[in-house]
Amino acid sequence: MTFVPSAAALRQQLARPHRTAGRHFLLPWLLLALLGTLWAVATPIGGSPDEPAHVVKAASVVRGELLPAEMITTGGVLHVPAAFAAEYAQGCFAFFADTPASCAPGFSGDPNEIVETFSSASLYNPVYYMLVGWPSLLLPDTSGIYAMRIMSAVLTSLFLAAAFWVVAAWRLPRVPSLGILIGVTPIVLYLMGTVNPNALEFTGGLALFAAMLGIVLDPQEKLLGSRLALVVVAAALVSNTRGISPLWVALLLVLPLVLLKGRELGALLKRPGVIVSILLIGITALYSAWWTLSSNSLGTGPSTGPEIVQTNPGVGLTPVEGFFGEIGNTYLRIRQMVGILGWLDTPLSPPLYFIAYALFGLLVLGVVLFVRGRRLVFVVLTALAFFFLPAFIQSFYVTKGGFIWQGRYTLVLMMALLVGMAACIASSDRFLRWQQRVDERGMLVASARRGRGLVTALAWLTGIAWAFIVSWAFLTTMRRMTVGYSVDWLQMFEPGAWEPPLGALPLMIAFAVVSLGLAITVAAAFRDPRPEPVIEEYDAVPPIDGYAAAPRI
């Protein structure tokens, strides 16, 4: 008679994975920072969406100009060194996929001269701009733009690495780590290498969400303090990136609590560290709300100004029409969240989208096969927020402002959904039994060996597929910038093609190598531990770690 232990007994016998700072935090941070830096160098000046406005804002904030002196139809009037204001003149190729970046005029004049310019981001919260804008004080010329991009890449990759670090301590870290990797789509890496607060929003949001999932799904008393610290820091920064960001923070904080029963939630909320964290998050959220309301940054965007000639499509529609119109744009938004690069003028090759969708589908299939009960409710609620909340928000804006929503605005929800599905799969009893079943001798039975082998094979295939997607997206965008989207690949290396710093070919090779290195790191370093022999089955297993005041789930 084959002995089949309960999931609780298996969890009791399952050893914690050995977590090291080098393999599970520093190495992912280094590789992610390198990928963002390569994008920062490869993207021509003025080559990413809205970056000129953000560069001007960052350069003005670190020079003490937090708000504009006056508002005009193109934004607020700011004063920055001429080299940063000149980025507006570099965008002759924006929106025109077959126009290479070589059309941009070179900068002439004194780069240090303070000039009057404008920014549509002039009223935005200054926190992100302070963090990434300081290199412009040291390099007040075009090189300062690259330096600000690299600073943004280092900062945002830190939060992605923190998410990897959090899941590395979970009992079964392999699937959650793959969920993070799958969520790092080409557009994620691309925006990390630009000056854009959107990148801090979705990377910080993912770190916050991973820490919350760790608190409720994998309670460990010794890690509660560090997890709460990550939640507080990430929530503070994300709340102060964009005007709508406090809403995402609230969702990312509340949704994981659905995974707790009432008594568990009550016990968690009574802990002093949790109470202090809530107060700190509330203070930073209040500051964000104060800035947004006092500056009116959500109500005075250029597209709503009284003298704007061009308007967005959909102006004049009712909120109901705007809601269903945005629902109809769902597939386009998902494509944008995988990657339509440049100024939304560089779509990827169709097979890349299909591979990305297949990786998303693996997590959905895992939910269907393994997730039940409270975890399934959590996944459904997160999916509903992802699909319908943007349309709901858009419906309030459409009548006067038209359709303004882009896929990158919802990247934080997409990444949370993917990681949330992965976390629920890995923590489910069905998955645990399928992967860790042992017989009366304490040996893994054949079905479990096949299950573990299949997960390992899928991890390596996922890593390879991910590296292929992001590398090919990098190559595609490089071709678009050097010679034009529709031009033959080999013309990238002919005389007259636009050339990024360090050269196109070295950057492409470096990106492929680093992306493969990250894929190998995730597949190899985040392995699930094998269980120790199960001696007997328990009806109720006391927690071997967790919170003294909150039962394990």
Per the prediction, the chain carries an average pLDDT of 88
* pLDDT surpasses 80 at 438: no
Read off the pLDDT of each residue in 443-453 and give the average, rounded to a whole number: 64
Window from 342-356, 357-371, 427-441, 452-466 with minimum mean pLDDT: 427-441
Find out whether 240 and 194 touch, Cβ atoms under 8 Å: no
C-alpha to C-alpha distances, 213 to 223, 228, 257, 499, nearest whole angstrom: 13, 11, 9, 44
Beta-bridge mates of residue 119 = 76
CA angle 542, 546, 550 (to 5 degrees): 85
- How far apart are the C-alpha atoms of 464 and 477, rounded to whole Å? 20
Under DSSP, the state recorded for 170 is: S
CB proximity list for 286: less than 8 A, separation 6 or greater? none
Structure tokens at 197: 């607060």
Window from 51-55, 357-361, 399-403, 441-445 with minimum mean pLDDT: 441-445
- How far apart are the C-alpha atoms of 320 and 20, rounded to whole Å? 51
At 276, the pLDDT band (50, 70, 90 cuts) reads very high
- How far apart are the C-alpha atoms of 63 and 66, rounded to whole Å? 8
pLDDT number for residue 2: 45
pLDDT number for residue 91: 85
C-alpha to C-alpha distances, 150 to 42, 329, 331, nearest whole angstrom: 11, 33, 31
Find out whether 339 and 186 touch, Cβ atoms under 8 Å: yes
pLDDT number for residue 537: 43
pLDDT number for residue 309: 38
Read off the pLDDT of each residue in 171-180 and give the average, rounded to a whole number: 94
The number of CA neighbours under 13 Å toward the Cβ of 489 is 7
* pLDDT surpasses 90 at 479: yes
Digit-coded pLDDT (tens) for 110-131: 888 999 999 999 999 999 999 9
Tell the burial category of 16 from Cβ atoms under 10 Å away from its Cβ (0-12, 13-18, 19+): middle
91 or 280, higher pLDDT: 280
Task: Name the region of 381 (left: φ>0; alpha: ψ -120 to 50; beta: rest).
Answer: alpha
pLDDT number for residue 494: 86
At 11, the pLDDT band (50, 70, 90 cuts) reads low
- How far apart are the C-alpha atoms of 330 and 352, rounded to whole Å? 18
Provide the whole-model pTM: 0.91
Digit-coded pLDDT (tens) for 296-341: 877 644 333 333 334 678 888 889 989 999 999 999 999 999 999 9
pLDDT number for residue 307: 35
Residue with tokens 């297949």: 358
Cα 172 off chain centre by? 22
Read off the pLDDT of each residue in 47-68 and give the average, rounded to a whole number: 94
Share of the chain above pLDDT 70, in %: 88
Going by C-alpha positions, the residue among 104, 91, 99, 97 that lies closest to residue 52 is 91
pLDDT number for residue 402: 85
* pLDDT surpasses 80 at 435: no
Under DSSP, the state recorded for 440 is: T
- How far apart are the C-alpha atoms of 13 and 32, rounded to whole Å? 34
At 488, the pLDDT band (50, 70, 90 cuts) reads confident
Share of the chain above pLDDT 90, in %: 72
Beta-bridge mates of residue 307 = none
pLDDT number for residue 540: 42
Q: Residue ranges of the alpha helices (H) in 168-261? A: 174-183, 186-192, 197-217, 221-239, 245-254
95 or 15, higher pLDDT: 95
* pLDDT surpasses 50 at 289: yes
Task: Name the region of 529 (left: φ>0; alpha: ψ -120 to 50; beta: rest).
Answer: beta
- How far apart are the C-alpha atoms of 202 and 415, rounded to whole Å? 8
pLDDT number for residue 73: 84
- Where in the chain are the domains? 7-197+303-525
